[in-house]
Amino acid sequence: MVRFLPFLISLVLSVYALFSCIQTPDEDVPHLPKLVWIVLIVFVPFVGPIVWLITYRMQLARRESVVRPPKPSARPVAPDDDPDFLASLDRYRDPRTTVKPPETPKPDPEPEPADESDGKPKAPDTDSETSSETDDGKA
């Protein structure tokens, strides 16, 4: 039983490497054409399958390290945090339905006092109509 073990290991290794080589796309086969690899795996019992598995794994590792995108340096800004994006939305808003915030009243500048000789404020005229009275049309 022990004397069949090397043959069994070589057979399993060759079958595994052969299927791996056949299933590999032509552009992913390393260094040699696919047909040459198949011939090496079948006719060189231990060395062919081992060399195929090593070179194919190294080719995959190299390709994966190149394909990985670089890590982004800065975190992307969410659209609701981006002032440029929010400003671009203003053109789509309907002015009839947009509620604008109330404007803050500007403080009135203090009126300058009129030049009076005695400095006392002038009494309001009582003869004229006051603005608080309403004109409801009934006399």
pLDDT tens figures, 75-122:
656 777 777 887 787 777 777 776 666 777 777 777 666 655 555 555
Query: Does 43 reside within a domain?
Result: yes
Query: Does 81 reside within a domain?
Result: no
Task: Please tell me the total count of domains within the chain.
Answer: 1
C-alpha to C-alpha distance for 110 and 97, rounded to whole angstroms = 38
Whether the full predicted model's pTM is greater than 0.85, yes or no, is no
C-alpha to C-alpha distance for 121 and 139, rounded to whole angstroms = 34
Query: Does 80 reside within a domain?
Result: no
Q: Could you tell me how far CA 46 lies from the centroid of its own chain?
A: 50
Query: Does 73 reside within a domain?
Result: no
Of 41-45, 75-79, 125-129, 132-136, the range with the lowest mean pLDDT is 125-129
Residue-range definition of the domain harbouring residue 27: 2-67
Give yes or no for a contact between 31 and 52, defined as CB atoms under 8 angstroms apart.
no
Query: Does 99 reside within a domain?
Result: no
Give yes or no for a contact between 14 and 41, defined as CB atoms under 8 angstroms apart.
yes
Q: What is the pLDDT of residues 15-37, one digit of tens each?
A: 999 999 999 888 888 888 889 99
Give yes or no for a contact between 41 and 18, defined as CB atoms under 8 angstroms apart.
yes
Query: Does 13 reside within a domain?
Result: yes
